[in-house]
Amino acid sequence: METIKQYRLSSNWTLFLKIFFPTFWAVFFGLIILTTFLVDPEENIFLGNPIARLVGVLCFLLFFLIMYLTIMQLKRVDIDKDYIYISNYFKTYRYKLVDIKQIKEIDFSLFLIIKVILHQKGAFGQKMSFILNKPTFNDFLLHHPECHQYFKT
């Protein structure tokens, strides 16, 4: 029986940005916000000020919303010659390469975001994004040139 090699197309930064950074950020800044509610207003005029508390909570929620809508939506992506495997690090779903409708690239100089758009809605929706690991992607296309047709942008 032939073993089919999978290539991880998503960058190692995905795990850090999706799991560790939001967790660290929420705990660190959440404790700072909690501290503003626990401090006595007479001991620290700035932190005890209701306006400073409101601004702090609003900034915390706004930044968390921005993180949720951007970096927390990143997926881990693996590929072989027939399938693309998309994971949120808890569940992994397999789609045939022919199910890919379109691939979009967004270049941020430091990293390349790839948006995979399926013909039909999948478990994670119709559009899924990941940070591309370019050397692995090039290696995959080198070993499977027939798959290049699916990745025309």
Q: Give the pLDDT confidence score for residue 93 in this predicted structure.
A: 95
Q: Give the pLDDT confidence score for residue 2 in this predicted structure.
A: 65
Q: Give the pLDDT confidence score for residue 3 in this predicted structure.
A: 73
- Enumerate the β-bridge partners of residue 127: 117
Q: What is the CA radius of gyration of the chain?
A: 21
Over residues 37-83, the pLDDT tens digits come to: 887 777 766 666 788 888 989 999 999 999 999 999 999 999 998 89
Over residues 95-126, the pLDDT tens digits come to: 999 999 999 999 888 889 999 999 999 999 99
Q: Are 17 and 129 in contact (CB under 8 A)?
A: no
Q: Give the pLDDT confidence score for residue 27 in this predicted structure.
A: 95
Q: Are 116 and 103 in contact (CB under 8 A)?
A: yes
Q: Give the pLDDT confidence score for residue 18 in this predicted structure.
A: 92
The model's pTM = 0.83
Which CATH number describes the domain made up of 74-151? 2.30.29.210
Confidence of residue 1 (pLDDT cuts 50, 70, 90): low
Q: Are 128 and 114 in contact (CB under 8 A)?
A: no
**What is the distance between the alpha carbons of residues 68 and 70, in angstroms, rounded to a whole number?**
6
